[in-house]
Amino acid sequence: MDGCVGRTEELKFLEELYGKTPVACAICGRRHLGKTTILRGFSSDKPHIYLTGVNGLKSENLREISVALSRFAGREVRVEDILDLFPTLVKICGKKKVVVMIDRYSDIVGNFPEFNSYLRSFMNRDLASTRMMLVVCDNNNSVFGRFYYTLDLRPMTYLECKGFHPDYSPLEHLMAYSIVGGTPAYQKLFQGKPLDIIRNSFFDHMSVFSLETEGLVTSEGLGLTCNKVLSAMASGAESVKDISSRANISSSSCGKIVEDMEHKGLIQKEVSSGVSRRAVYTISSNLIRFFFEVVHRYTHQVEFEAPEDAFTMARVDIDAYMERGFKTVCMDYVTFNYDYTFIGKLRRKDDSRDSVIDFVASVTVDDVRRIIIARCRLFGDPFNKSDLDILMERGKKVDGSNKLYALFSGPGFDPDLQAVARDDNNVVLRTLDEVYKG
């Protein structure tokens, strides 16, 4: 799939800026989120120059710049010094309205430290006399300095990711999103039947997704300790105290490592509701979470024995992982469909989660504040009236009087429960199909 899937708001933002030309903006976001794809889609119908940094020699960067400028000008253009870039751009663009893109900006700055001040000077003094839309793009927004217009690229939502797999069923969409998340590059690689992809692209230690996961972790420079923390979290540890105990790391060292991993985006602090006020953490990346919660447990079988046997043994863990993924998607469904001020898991004093209530949310419905108390089930039997009664009984422990009971189900709901929901506005039933309709 070659086109720019989703990203309608981001493209709209860039189109609006294009109308303000001359103008400059920055696009930032971690690797594989589709920054270059967005640039390609946006500029495809416009005069444009695409310049990209090279993680190599100064001469390689200058050669890449010269090739790009020559392609636009239709003749040979040579840039021998980085300080000649903007005068050359001004000359070859002339009075044309041109989108000038500088991708992988930190690679250019790494070779030419003076480029930061050079860019700033051009934007402040010379850009206004041109017809350029200047777009600077990088993984790390700290290299930019301050831009008035900035597009901070985030992972795509579960609904946006549907565009990568138009023939998938809702369950297959859920599996794809739960495993690789909202990263466009991973969604594009996730082609075929989900279970076939899991077997062939994870349960082989030389497969693309396994290698990518290992690369993501090792690239942060935290080594074996990072793997220990992720393994502890995958086995159920969520607080620094529990992570420290399971990973056999001192509490002080563990606290520093967790803080560093949070800063680098590998893990995130979870929002929760209840009497517990201690910080709990979850693995940020769906890809890393799936690898450590499922695949990593079968490393011996994957590397030494038959990957097919490892996959067969892991089927129970895969289904359990998908159950957890469904709960996350249901939380996203609430944030998309309600005006909410809070959403999170319900926890007890010992930080453990409630075994019946999967999450609670504070929302506004028809100008009235309400508390959603939700339970989710992807596999198994349809929800019945007894399940609703148990949820309502447990919901008595949740603060707030105006409660809305929501049941999200893959297998559906039995007729008696559906009849209750038709007569009771305080009960909401949503199937997996409805969740994926948005």
Of 152, 181, 197, which residue is a domain's last? Answer: 152
For residue 264, the domain's CATH number is 1.10.10.10
User: Which pLDDT score, from 0 to 100, does residue 1 have?
Assistant: 39
pLDDT of residue 29: 86
Please state whether the predicted TM-score (pTM) of the whole model is above 0.75: yes
Same domain flag for 24 and 71: yes
Q: Are 209 and 287 in contact (CB under 8 A)?
A: yes
We report the CATH number of the domain holding residue 67 as: 3.40.50.300
pLDDT score at 103 = 94
Q: 238 and 277 share a domain?
A: yes
Q: Are residue 379 and residue 312 in the same domain, yes or no?
A: no
Query: Is 143 part of any domain?
Result: yes
pLDDT at residue 289 greater than cutoff 90: yes
| Cβ contact 395:403 at 8 Å | yes
Tell me the per-residue pLDDT of 362-389, one tens digit each, with 9 for 90 and over. Answer: 999 999 999 999 999 999 999 999 999 9
Q: Which residues contact 424 (CB under 8 A, 6 or more apart)?
A: none
Are both 47 and 132 inside the same structural domain? Answer: yes
pLDDT value of position 34: 87
What is the dihedral angle through the alpha carbons of 127, 129, 132, 134, rounded to the nearest 10 degrees? 10
Query: Alpha helices, DSSP H only, in 235-314?
Result: 240-247, 251-263, 286-293, 299-304, 307-313
Could you tell me if 46 and 57 lie in one domain?
yes
Kindly tell me if the per-residue pLDDT of 69 is higher than 90.
yes
In one letter, which amino acid is 189? L
User: Distance of CA 123 to CAs 39, 109, 116, 293, 349, Å?
Assistant: 20, 16, 11, 48, 54
Q: Kindly indicate the confidence band of residue 243, based on its pLDDT and cuts at 50, 70 and 90.
A: very high
One domain, residues 376 and 292: no
* Amino acid residing at 67: V
pLDDT exceeds 70 at position 27:
yes
**79/218 same-domain check:** no
Q: Which helix (H) or strand (E) holds 139?
A: none
Q: What per-residue confidence (pLDDT) applies to 400?
A: 82
Examine residue 304 and state whether it is found in any structural domain, yes or no: yes
Residue 3 falls inside a structural domain = no
Shared domain check, 333 and 380: yes
Same domain? 190 vs 140: no
Assigned domain for 403 exists: yes
* pLDDT (0 to 100) of residue 350: 66
Strand residue runs (E) in 32-86: 48-52
What residues contact residue 176 under an 8 Å CB cut-off, 6+ apart? 161, 164, 165, 168, 187, 190, 194
Judged against a pLDDT cut of 80, whether residue 353 lies above it is answered with: no
Task: Please report, for residues 66, 338, 415, the alpha-carbon distance to residue 391 in angstroms, rounded to integers and kept in the order given.
Answer: 66, 21, 18
What's the confidence (pLDDT) of residue 200? 84
Residues 300 and 354 in one domain: no
Q: Is the pLDDT assigned to residue 32 strictly greater than 90?
A: no
Q: At what angle do helices 286-293 and 208-218 cross, to 10 degrees?
A: 100
Tokens of 272: 């929760």
pLDDT tens string 295-350:
888 876 666 566 678 888 889 999 999 999 999 999 999 999 999 999 988 877 66
**Structural domain includes residue 52:** yes
Give how many domains the chain has, as a whole number. Answer: 3
Q: Does residue 382 sit in helix, strand or coil?
A: coil
Range of the domain at 368: 325-437
Which of residues 125 and 265 earns the better pLDDT score? 125
Give per-residue pLDDT as tens, 385-424: 999 999 999 999 888 889 999 999 999 999 999 999 999 9
In a domain, 2, yes or no: no
Mean pLDDT of the chain: 90
Q: From 272, 296, 322, give the residue that closes a domain.
A: 322
d(CA 262, CA 257): 8
Asked whether residue 98 is assigned to any structural domain, the reply reads yes
Rg (CA), the chain: 25
Whether the pLDDT of residue 145 is over 80: the answer is no
Rounded CA gap, 379 and 365, in Å? 30
User: Hey, which residues does 151 pair with through a beta bridge?
Assistant: 27
Beta-bridged to residue 343, according to DSSP, are 361
**Quick check: is 1 in a domain?**
no
Please name which of 126, 125, 116, 103 lies closest in space to residue 42, comparing C-alpha atoms: 103
- Whichever domain contains 407, its CATH number is 3.40.1350.10
In terms of domains, do 113 and 165 share one? no
- Which of residues 120, 152, 184 is at a domain's end? 152
pLDDT value at position 2?
A: 47
> Taking 80 as the threshold, does the pLDDT of residue 204 lie above it?
no
Separation of alpha carbons 258 and 384, rounded Å: 41
87 and 227 part of one domain: no
pLDDT of residue 330: 98
Residue with tokens 């692209």: 201
Overall average pLDDT of the 351-359 stretch: 84
pLDDT, position 217: 81
Instruction: Tell me what percent of the residues of the chain surpass a pLDDT of 90.
Output: 66
pLDDT at residue 22, as a whole number: 96
Q: Give the Cβ contact number of residue 111 at 10 Å.
A: 19
Q: Which residue has the higher pLDDT, 210 or 293?
A: 293
